Structure 1
Amino acid sequence: MNKNSVVAKKKFGQNFLKDEAVLRKIIEAMPKNDNKIVEIGPGLGDLTRFLVDVKSVEAFEVDTDLCKLLQSTFKKEIDTKRLHINCGDVLQAWQSSLIDEPYDLVANLPYYIATNIILKALADPMCKNILVMVQLEVAEKFCATAGEKVFGSLSVITQSIADAHIVVQVPPTAFEPPPKIDSAVFLIRKNADRNNENFEGLLRVAFKQPRKTLMKNLSVMYKKDLLQVAFLELNLTPTIRPHQVSTQDYHQLYKKII
């Protein structure tokens, strides 16, 4: 098998990033540190070849055909321990931590598992930074600020433990085959770990029906009199919508009603 004969497999959500300008922007946006790089879904190795020039890489690829291709393409880097390829499902390999040393996740993520992977990385104490390509809509949700329509539970979870911003928006033409939607590279710099399941439970309730008021959503799970007192103390109007409340106020609400 050679690179040019590979056909993208829909079941693995494969869209191979070909635009060298975008690949270079990913490398330029990488945090400067001594952390190892974890790449999930290296595909044909288009990003991998840039990454191994910078640092040692631990790669995870679920497609056995691509694993063989990568092992052949990067034989030298594998022999010199610059690259290690794990063939199999990364989510099955991922327990509390993916590898046993500090790492940065740098990857063009398969769309169908992107959100799950980012949330796992946010919870992984060994993951320090996340620089990934995902569908634009998902990147916006992780990077949104209070008041924006797309601000939701993913935004609050991220802001609670990290700083996040979009690095570059990427059109479908940068990929082969081109997806039907725009993509984006975004960076999350962690300053803590995601580990408060009860708080995230509150967020799930708060954003379950985003068009309703926050008071109405939370009243399904929490006592209304407690909510009314908490809203008053935090200067939140009873008609405020979930996306209009800041991350800080969500944490204050949690402390007052739990």
Structure 2
Amino acid sequence: MIEAKKKFGQNFLKDSTVLSKIIQAMPRNDRKLVEIGPGLGDLTQELLKVKPLVAYEVDEDLCVYLRKKFSKEIEQGSLTLVHANVLNQFEKGSLLNEPYDLVANLPYYIATTIILEALEDPYCKSMEVMVQKEVAEKFAAAPKTKEFTSLAILTQSIGTAKLLFDVDPTSFDPQPKVVSSILKIDKHKEFVEGSFSGIFETKEQLQKFKKYLRCSFQSPRKTWLKNISSEFDKQSVQDLMQMHDLPITIRPHEISVLSHHLLFKHLRLNDARKRSNATTE
């Protein structure tokens, strides 16, 4: 019998009702399917009833188990089992070199990192993932709530995020100490087409926006003005806030996704003008 390993954050999903709800919520299209951390293969088995998939598993013992359990599917080509750390794979580029949807029960300890990597992977078009509830809430949070942070802004800049339903600890073996949730993210059209032609014209601009968000939320309880002034001229920021009718006491979580983009755009333009003037002088 395979036992869950703490170092890999393994909690095996066994609840057939939850498995069925995951399958019902997954997208129906011709894109390839990717699963991360198939575990004992309960979700894998249901996914294979819908379409072929590629599954990434870091645990060699589980790979041995899965190769035996799905020997027929592997031989037929409907299941491709990859023994690898997905984070290393993301560093190389993408989990697949063609459009795909991600459906997975993610290990809690690296769930946020995986989602962020998948968001930037141009080949990943959507994801339906199980994560810790409070993590799902941060990705799908609305402005002016305490959960609304840079995670929500970045995610909602790239796509739409929705918490579908909660999953009780009793649905797993072993049982985790937290409630889980199914988070669904569908990317906007420009990202589905593998382009940054929408909000972000280039990948470099996306990286700059991430830097802006880190600065904006470096001290969430402080005002946005206080945070952002560590990177940009304070007087210029105040003038910008006045132009957008933003109170100087506003905090970063109280600013909408669109407003954050407008502020980022103006700050970049102001910064570019200053550099241009300095060069001319």
Give your verdict on TM over 0.5: yes
The equivalent residue for 2:72 is 76
The equivalent residue for 1:24 is 20
Please give the TM-score of this superposition, normalised by the length of structure 1.
0.96
CA–CA separation in structure 1 for the residues paired with 2:173 and 2:240: 51
State the percentage of identical aligned residues: 52
* Amino acid corresponding to residue 55 of structure 2 in structure 1: A
* Amino acid corresponding to residue 122 of structure 1 in structure 2: L
CA–CA separation in structure 1 for the residues paired with 2:89 and 2:97: 12
1:131 positional shift: 0.4
Deviates more, 1:188-197 or 1:69-78: 188-197
CA–CA separation in structure 1 for the residues paired with 2:241 and 2:72: 61
The equivalent residue for 1:241 is 251
The equivalent residue for 2:100 is 103
The equivalent residue for 1:60 is 56
CA–CA separation in structure 1 for the residues paired with 2:252 and 2:169: 32
Q: Describe the SS at the equivalent of 2:42.
A: coil
Matches within 5 A, 1:183-194: 183-191=180-188, 192-193=190-191
The equivalent residue for 1:152 is 149
1:176 positional shift: 0.6
Please give the TM-score of this superposition, normalised by the length of structure 2.
0.89
Moved over 4 A (4+): none
CA–CA separation in structure 2 for the residues paired with 1:171 and 1:148: 24
The equivalent residue for 2:128 is 131
**Please, which of 189, 202, 205 is the counterpart of residue 212 of structure 2?**
202
**Please, which of 6, 12, 15 is the counterpart of residue 8 of structure 2?**
12
Q: Count matched residues.
A: 254
The equivalent residue for 2:230 is 220
**Structure 1, gaps ≥5 residues long:** none
The equivalent residue for 1:92 is 88
Cα RMSD, aligned residues only: 1.0
The equivalent residue for 1:42 is 38
* Amino acid corresponding to residue 103 of structure 2 in structure 1: V
The equivalent residue for 2:171 is 174
CA–CA separation in structure 1 for the residues paired with 2:243 and 2:73: 59
The equivalent residue for 2:139 is 142
1:236 positional shift: 1.1
**Please, which of 196, 199, 221 is the counterpart of residue 211 of structure 1?**
221
CA–CA separation in structure 2 for the residues paired with 1:93 and 1:144: 29
CA–CA separation in structure 2 for the residues paired with 1:42 and 1:233: 51
1:88 positional shift: 1.8
1:81 positional shift: 0.7
Deviates more, 1:224-233 or 1:246-255: 224-233
The equivalent residue for 2:262 is 252
1:232 positional shift: 1.1
CA–CA separation in structure 1 for the residues paired with 2:124 and 2:240: 35
Q: Describe the SS at the equivalent of 2:103.
A: strand
**Structure 2, gaps ≥5 residues long:** 197-202, 269-281
1:93 positional shift: 2.0
CA–CA separation in structure 2 for the residues paired with 1:219 and 1:136: 33
Q: Describe the SS at the equivalent of 1:26.
A: helix
Q: Describe the SS at the equivalent of 1:59.
A: strand
The equivalent residue for 1:165 is 162
Q: Describe the SS at the equivalent of 2:178.
A: coil
CA–CA separation in structure 1 for the residues paired with 2:89 and 2:161: 26
